[in-house]
Structure 1
Amino acid sequence: MKQLLLFVSLLPATLLAQDRHLDSLMGTTQPAHGRAYVTGTFKGTRIINLQSVEKAAPGTLQFLIQHRFGAVNGGGYEFFGLDQATIRLALEYGLHRAVAIGVGRSSYEKNYDAYTKVTLLRQAPSAVPFTLAYFGSVVYRGERMALKGFNSGNARLSYTHQLLLARKFTDRLSLQLAPTFVHKNRVLSRLDPNDYYALGVGGRYRLTKRFSLNTEYIGRLPPANRSAPAYADFHNSFSLGVDIETGGHVFQLHLTNSLSMLEKGFITESSESWGNGGVHFGFNISRDFTFGRGKKSKKTW
């Protein structure tokens, strides 16, 4: 955590420094009003689990399939996790060059989610040193609970708010910070807080035009009571993966200690760790479908 805080303290100064590489980035686009924006900071709308600053372009509908297998420490009896699987299906639509909305359904906890992503600033050479976006979501837990009071509609809800601060340093390297707030309407223990704070760090390094390496780490900030089960019994999320682009598809293959594919889950409820072999193989697959004006424009948002 000390290294993470040091990185955070140094990054803003780096973001504001002049970067000569930006003027020649391959991922810039020249809109009609004359300002060139940096594009392709990340290949997908997610780095791995963590949201990226990318989103569906205006008039574009993205279909996302996310899959996580069981932990590899299940051994041969569980075929190293392949006997178990959870899935999330989602649709995201670009309403405007600055706004996208989405909905999803997960088999894990039978969760339903709805979200929005709004671009507040876009990185531009010699003008804006980073891209800034807001992400907000609400999750409804559909799974029936045996505990009294957990099956009411209000108790099933949780909320996430994130700021996504990203910079494409060169045509190969991109980094992102994601300060996060998660609120749960109902918690299991009287010791558990309803509010959680975390800081995510993610990065992408492009090896070829269609292949890149990705990584992310989400550090939870300790609550006032560090012995609260909701904090002490869970781990920080850490993931490694690769992105492969093939035409209109983006394949993301990765290893992660988080089973849930929703923010309130992988940020605050990762029950396994890399240290004990609690690692899940998973993948994300996205496909974009364009409608109306989306057919006439490239995905540069």
Structure 2
Amino acid sequence: METKRPLRSDLLQPVQLRLDGLFERLQHLERILAEVPDGLSEHVQHRLESAALSSGLNALRRSYEAIVTVLCLALDGSVPDAEESWYGDALDQLSGSGSGRRPVLPSDLAHTLREVVADLNFDPILELDETLAVQRRRRQAAMLAAPLLVGALTALDSRLINGTLRIGCAPDPEFVAQHPGRVERAKAQERALHHVLSCIKVAFRDRGHTVIPFGSLIEGRVHGRSDLDLIVPGDVTREEQGELWNIAEDVTRAEGVEFDLHFPNLYRDEFLDRIQVIKDGRIAPLRDLIAAATDPKTLED
């Protein structure tokens, strides 16, 4: 399953980035399922299939959640952030028209996207058959949702280009006024992320390392659940990695912020080219972001 880059509007480039990741994860899931060997007992084969589905579906869930989150932020200026219900609330927001724009997601697509993240309500280890049945339905929903989502986003892109999406101004002031709590929580989270990043930069620099943020913070699309994505370029020993990780953990714990810390020297060379980020409003490989951040001229400025 492949997708060309269909979205032209600048507003949707962060969405396109996540969409590309979604299709990579769909392909990965199909590959690992194809690698489940034949000729085993039915029980063992089902165990292996379930394990592959568990890993692949968790990744797909994160992709769909990321797309929905960025869409809400890009179009409406805020995203629901209730811990248990935010995803369903966000789908309701995107399939509705109460935010100064036309509906973005058809109701049938919103329903399918809910099925992708359906949770198990029983023990997945003890009840393998039931677990596998749910996983297979989720996989089917994920495969069905992808082309439908591309179609909806392509239509949205056209409306953004020709100016027919909005019923009013963007984002609609009345809509924003209805959700002051989530807007304030997003602002508070952004302040916390910047504070944590500043502390981590100082601590890492004192130990001879540079840390570079990427993700929602540098895209300017922080919400109440945003975490901090960080990468440490260059050669970092195992001992140093552990020390840096502990420092970041101590700093983020104090602010109640979650983080991801990446060390490129642990990965293959193509990692920096395969991982895409938003840089200056455009999709670019992570290597370009690192090059700009570590350029001596940039550091002098």
**TM-score range with shorter-chain normalisation?**
under 0.3
**Structure that is richer in helix per residue:** 2
**Structure that is richer in strand per residue:** 1
Q: Bigger relative contact order, structure 1 or 2, given CA contacts below 8 A and separation 6+?
A: 1
Instruction: Give the TM-score, by structure 1 length.
Output: 0.25
Instruction: Give the TM-score, by structure 2 length.
Output: 0.25
The structure with more radius of gyration: 2
